[in-house]
Chains A and B, each alone.
Chain A
Amino acid sequence: MQRRADDRAAANSKMSWPLRIVSLLALVLGSPANAHHSWARYDGDNVITITGNITSIEWASPHVVMHFTVPAEGAEPTPWTMEMDPPTLLNRYGLRHDTLKAGMQVKLTGVRAKSGAPMMRAVTIEVEDGTVYRVSSRV
């Protein structure tokens, strides 16, 4: 580990000034300034309902993230991403970390990215037995 650090230090010391500036810019621009974000990126005027199949769940803060696919006629299913409240809040709404699982079909109601990307923030989730869960503090 120490050797790697030494190697990096040596590499940095040999770095040309233009490269150093580029590296610094990359560091600044690459910072997670656009990570944990507000609702402003979603189209709040249009609530959508969409049905899909869960492929994976990231049960973690600041947002639980669900990856799912939406069937497309005569084509590969479309991959979507959905985010909801963090685990602590979902827990108080009555969801456990294993309530939603890969393979389940779900109906999601929420708002979609203004850009039109297949990205949404859900406020409710309906699972196959008809149970509807609240997944956002906004409802």
Chain B
Amino acid sequence: MRVLARLSLLLAGSTGVLAQAPPPAGFPGAPPPSPTAFIRELSAEPATTAAPGAEATLRWEASNAYSLKIEPEVGVVATRGSQRVAPLVTTTYTLTATGPGSPATRTVTVTVPGTAAATTATPAAASQPTALPRLANGKPDLSGVYSADRNVRLLGQPKLKPGSESFRVVEAEQRETGTGSDCLPPGVPAATMLPFPLQIVHTPDTFVVMYEAYHQFRIAPIGRDHAEYLDPAWMGHSVARWDGDTLVVDVRGFNDRTVIAGFRHTEDLTVTERYRRTAFNTIEYEAAVADPNVFAEPLRYAGTLTLHAEWEIGEYVCAENNQDYDELFDEN
């Protein structure tokens, strides 16, 4: 295998197809430029409606965009989709796809017979709610699909308890594999830190976090204490309480099989999370992670969760194609 790989490397090199791109030193730290957003389609069916207030369907599809919006009326939309509109006058809809570089735009006009085009040269931005949503009990409603997208980070370096060096994960250095290599749940707060969105479902009694990553979920009753016995669990056991307008989630009852900042831990691990919706689109997230058997003081994590109301949580079944890559890497 190794000889074949070397041979293929030589062959690939000899054909000249393997070219070095401009050097982005330290990639993945400094990756190559991201491809710009583009709009593949924006259409209206029918393009001319029967009468004022009659419906037409807008359809769109874009790629490489971080966010998309259609103005007027429609607002923030997903990567692809359709929406019915019912213009009273002839209206030009503008789809703006924002990504790296300049935003891409495309327009489509829905003609309403016997009416003049809407006179607004620049369509008013779709109304974005600014007030914080509230639960029936008056507390902030944290519900929504959010993305942390690597925004939640460890603050500072872990301070080890003397003598606990043996908890350091060494196989990751030896084998250069990731700790998620077995497709088992990543734990808390790791599940929030991955580049996958999560969905919060919040009622006055219950706070549920559903992670796209590894398809995990946590259910935290609000205002209840932990049960007396907690069976060791990958994602721990969660209960929540309010501290003013901040929801505090206490997580314990973990098994000892996940990894925290490069260290194994014991079943004495506890995580205290704080969720504060500071604006309609953002939750400020903090987590304090403690294991007195391993760390001299709690590890602190912080970051912003950004609302993506236009997204759905997708299906991520890690085990479906979890190959043993050793052979592909020629490292057997």
Contacts and interface: CB of A to CB of B under 8 A. Distances in A.
**Interface extent on A, as a size class?**
35 or more
A95 to B, nearest CB: 7
B329 A44 contact: no
A138 to B, nearest CB: 5
Given A40-B176, A116-B9, A137-B149, A35 B323 contact: yes
Contacts of A75: 11
Contacts of A95: 63
A91 B73 CA distance: 25
A32 interface: yes
A24 interface: no
B215 to A, nearest CB: 9
A26 interface: no
B35 A134 contact: yes
Contacts of B65: 94
Contacts of A103: none
Nearest to A96: B80
B2 to A, nearest CB: 8
Interface residues of B, number: 68
B324 A35 contact: yes
Given A47-B32, A118-B5, A62 B321 contact: yes
A70 B32 contact: no
Interface stretch (A1-9, A10-18, A107-115): A107-115
B12 A81 contact: no
Contacts of A37: 176-178, 181, 325
B14 A48 contact: no
B53 interface: no
Nearest to A47: B21
A32 B322 contact: yes
B19 A138 contact: no
Contacts of A65: 321, 323
Interface of A: 31-41, 44-52, 58, 60-63, 65, 70-73, 75, 78-81, 85-89, 91-95, 109, 111, 113, 115-119, 123-124, 131-134, 136-139
A133 B63 CA distance: 7
Interface in B283-319: 311, 314-318
A61 B28 contact: no
Contacts of B6: 116
Given A38-B176, A87-B314, 12 more contacts: A32-B181, A37-B176, A38-B177, A41-B177, A44-B28, A47-B23, A47-B27, A50-B12, A70-B12, A92-B79, A115-B330, A132-B36
A137 to B, nearest CB: 4
A44 B331 CA distance: 18
Interface in B40-69: 40, 61-65
A94 B63 contact: yes
B106 to A, nearest CB: 14
Contacts of B32: 47, 109, 123-124, 139
A78 B195 CA distance: 33
B124 interface: no
Contact of A36 (B25, B212, B318, B329): B318
A127 to B, nearest CB: 11
A93 B64 CA distance: 5
A72 B172 CA distance: 36
The 6 closest A-B pairs by CB, nearest first: A94-B63, A88-B314, A38-B178, A60-B321, A117-B330, A137-B195
Contacts of B325: 34-35, 37, 41, 119
Contacts of A34: 175, 177, 181, 324-326, 331
B28 A91 contact: no
B28 A41 contact: no
